[in-house]
Amino acid sequence: MLDTVLLIVFSMIGLSLLLNLWRLIIGPSVPDRILALDTMYINVIALIILYSISMGTGLYFEAALLIAMLGFISTVAVCKYLLRGDIIE
Amino acid sequence: MRLQARFRWLPTPFRSLFLFIVWLLLNNSVSAGHLVLAVFFAIFIPLLSFSLRDPQPLILKPGLAFKQLLIVLYDIVVANLQVALLILGPTKKLRPAFVKIPIDLTHNMPITILASSVSLTPGTVSAEVYPIPESINKGDEPIQRYLLIHVLDLKDEEALIKQIKQRYEAPLKEIFQC
Amino acid sequence: MISEWVVSILLLFGGAFILIGSIGLIKLPDFFMRLHGPTKATTLGMASVLIASMVFFTNAENGLSVKEILITIFLLITAPISGYMLIKSAIHHKLKAKEGTKGLNNIKDD
């Protein structure tokens, strides 16, 4: 049963990644695109966790943690750049 | 509001506890070696980093803080179900609005926690706190500050302000005693 | 067997919420409303996917697996902050809100 459920959830997250990509392409403004990227990295973490469940190994946990941290930092850095025109003042 | 901890060697007790738990979670074990290492980090990292940061108010009522954490977690689940229904429903009927809420908290740390819990809960995202503290001169009278929030579907402005003040702000005032 | 049911239900719940967050990102008319999808629905979806993974590995590896709590805490702490930064930059760029948004005069120019 778990295999079927995993397949369904994989396709759900794949679909939401496609929707995010659509928002990333059509914009219309820069904050919209950053929001789409921010949602994308969160969905990618979910994808990695699902992959590690389907492989039955816990090795991918550190990758998920690193992506969470890098994604947050990059979102804040790009927002800061939009707000001030400079990242570190 | 109290900024100074009871012991000099433990300037931030709850951050130390947090570091201890995070180290054990990261290693996913409670063996003796990791316990010793976790205690070492929990004592020395705050001591090293304490002088680099501004002093933050301490949690004075841990029991109440824990209860507030559970309330916020429960609200996150309920509010998410509501937002999911709003998103799936017809979007033409939504009544978005910007609402400003007067806040009585004075220190930055409680205001940050209030803004975060407002963002995670009932269909609202906090947008701005103004006036920003840099624009206030030292000698001036303390002025009323406002939290600007964006509401996805506004039903009753008065009720929303009252709910946020009672449910999230009053416990924070109690926890930090300010 | 029970744990398999729990993992399946939590995974479906989480996947549905992540999908709803992305649907909100596409469907809602202006930026300020779009922000509500990712900051809320996606966070809850991630939390339930991570709890599902916790239950699965606790069951599979004969030992408590609690590492996933770390990612959950991290996302719960950082989601409001990135939402706050995004809405601040949107206000700074003077993005148009949807027609009929109340209280637009509450936004103060800086």
Interface of C with B in 40-69 (CB under 8 A): 40-41, 43-44, 64-67, 69
Q: What digits encode the pLDDT tens for the residues B123-164?
A: 777 777 776 655 555 555 666 778 888 887 777 778 888 888
**pLDDT number for residue B1:** 64
**pLDDT number for residue B135:** 57
Count contacts between B and C (CB, < 8 Å).
120
Q: What digits encode the pLDDT tens for the residues C54-110?
A: 888 888 776 777 788 888 888 888 888 888 888 888 888 877 777 767 767 666 655
- Cα of B98 vs its chain's centroid, Å: 21
**pLDDT number for residue B141:** 60
- Percent of chain B's residues with pLDDT above 70: 88
Strands (E), chain B: 97-103, 124-130, 145-151
Q: Who contacts C48 (Cβ-Cβ below 8 Å, separation ≥6)?
A: C10, C11, C13, C14, C17
Residue ranges of chain A with pLDDT lower than 50? Answer: none
Amino acid at C13: F
Strand partners, B147: B101, B129
Q: How close does chain C come to A12, measured CA to CA in Å?
A: 6
Contact yes or no for C44 and B77 at CB 8 A: yes
Q: Quick check: B26 contacting C, CB < 8 Å?
A: yes
**pLDDT number for residue C68:** 82
Q: What is the mean pLDDT of residues B15-35?
A: 85
**pLDDT number for residue B51:** 78
CA of B129: how far to CAs of A81, B4, C86, C94, in Å? 20, 26, 14, 17
Count of all residues that appear for chain A in the document = 89
DSSP B169: I
CA of A19: how far to CAs of A46, B120, B177, C86, in Å? 15, 23, 46, 19
Contact yes or no for B87 and C32 at CB 8 A: no
Angstrom distance (rounded) from CA B139 to CA B120: 35
Q: What is the mean pLDDT of residues B21-50?
A: 85
- Global pTM reads 0.85
Question: If DSSP codes are grouped into helix, strand and coil, which group holds residue C85?
Answer: helix
Contact yes or no for B25 and C30 at CB 8 A: no
Question: If DSSP codes are grouped into helix, strand and coil, which group holds residue B126?
Answer: strand
Find, among C79, C96, C76, C89, the residue nearest to C36 by Cα. C79
**pLDDT number for residue A11:** 92
User: Is there a contact between C68 and C50 (Cβ–Cβ < 8 Å)?
Assistant: yes
**pLDDT number for residue B178:** 67
**More reliable by pLDDT, B8 or C10:** C10
Interface of A with C in 48-77 (CB under 8 A): 49-50, 52-53, 56, 58, 61, 64-65, 68-69, 72, 75-76
Q: Who contacts B60 (Cβ-Cβ below 8 Å, separation ≥6)?
A: B2, B175, B176, B177
Q: Sorting pLDDT into bands at 50, 70 and 90, what band is B83?
A: confident
Contact yes or no for C33 and B22 at CB 8 A: no
Residue among C46, C82, C95 whose CB faces A46 most closely = C46
* Lowest mean pLDDT, pick from A62-66, B46-50, C46-50: B46-50
Q: What is the mean pLDDT of residues B87-113?
A: 80
Angstrom distance (rounded) from CA A3 to CA B95: 42
Residue whose structure tokens are 């606790």: C58
Strand partners, B130: B146
**pLDDT number for residue C32:** 82
Q: Is C15 exposed, middle or buried (0-12, 13-18, 19+ CB in 10 A)?
A: buried
